Structure 1
């Protein structure tokens, strides 16, 4: 595994998992939120977002965390492994709420984008299994069939996977 995508619902722990996976394998890690969001929670222009991803995926080794379904077609052909953190929504929602409380006002997700209470985002997390999961699964199957696919359904499985890798 040298080119790894990490996907899943917000709050599943993609960023933390990716940092640990990158450290264990000695691979550079990119968080798509940092490429997509500009200060003040402003979206990057699509061409800039895509160009930044193209530059990263053209290299020989990487871990990229984030879904951004509209640009998966840029990453999937080059990925040799896909890790899908397919956790229950109650875990994901709890984690985003705890993160908001813990990091409120801090811009850890993307520079200039402080953590804030956002009911619309919490609703998105709650609805993700119904509204987005199947589309993500289809994209991974259709465009990522060549890649090794690893589905982890509980935080304990993710921790065990990282322990075995390390």
Structure 2
């Protein structure tokens, strides 16, 4: 397990989990949102986005943890992947986290990613472009999509780890610590 993609609906904790996982396994961390979003909420064209992903993967000589969904990038990001970890929290948990995170980000006005100037705002939080609305509208669709992918013949070479609660997520990370301590 050294070429990993962490996926899941917005506000499942993908970034927090992915950073911790990359650190514990001494792997290169790749944040897809940072590669995709340009300044002023402009989207990166696919060919540029895919090239950025390929460039980051090439830098990762020991392996990597890719944080993010972007299913259109599957041919690029899963070209060498060995593991997909799906964080699949219940809808009420995701909704609570999405609202809490958006409010916190809007209040503190920090750039969301290192390579862009994008910030949350209260106006944006309640608009059609909000992460909260995105989570609400994609939660069920994402879940169905990942269930199909787990069972699809073309992805049977990938190890799927399906974590369905914060308790399972915490236990998974703690298990990595226990495995490292016994070596």
TM-score if structure 1 supplies the norm length? 0.91
Are the equivalent residues in 1 in contact too, given 2:102–2:132 (CA < 8 A)? no
CA distance in 2 between partners of 1:77 and 1:71 (Å) = 10
Residue 146 of structure 2: which of 111, 136, 144 is its match? 136
Residue 169 of structure 2: which of 158, 161, 165 is its match? 158
Alpha-carbon distance, 1:69 to partner: 0.9
Q: Provide the aligned C-alpha RMSD in A.
A: 1.7
CA distance in 2 between partners of 1:46 and 1:141 (Å) = 27
Hey, what does 1:62 align to over in structure 2?
A: 64
Residue 86 of structure 2: which of 78, 84, 87 is its match? 84
Q: Please give the per-residue CA displacement for 1:47-82, whole angstroms capped at 9, x wherever unaligned.
A: 110111122334441000100011112122311111
Structure 2 gap ranges (5+): 178-183
Asked which structure has the greater RCO (Cα within 8 Å, sep 6+), the reply is 1
Q: Which has the larger radius of gyration?
A: 2
Are the equivalent residues in 2 in contact too, given 1:9–1:86 (CA < 8 A)? yes
Instruction: Give the alignment of 1:1-166 within 5 angstroms.
Output: 1-58=1-58, 59-60=60-61, 61-104=63-106, 105-109=109-113, 111-116=116-121, 117-120=125-128, 121-142=131-152, 143-166=154-177
Structure 1 gap ranges (5+): none
CA distance in 2 between partners of 1:146 and 1:161 (Å) = 21
Hey, what does 2:181 align to over in structure 1?
A: none
CA distance in 1 between partners of 2:139 and 2:119 (Å) = 26
Aligned length: 166
Please, which moves more after superposition, 89-98 or 109-118?
109-118
Please, which moves more after superposition, 98-107 or 65-74?
98-107
Secondary structure at the residue paired with 1:40? Answer: helix
CA distance in 1 between partners of 2:127 and 2:95 (Å) = 11
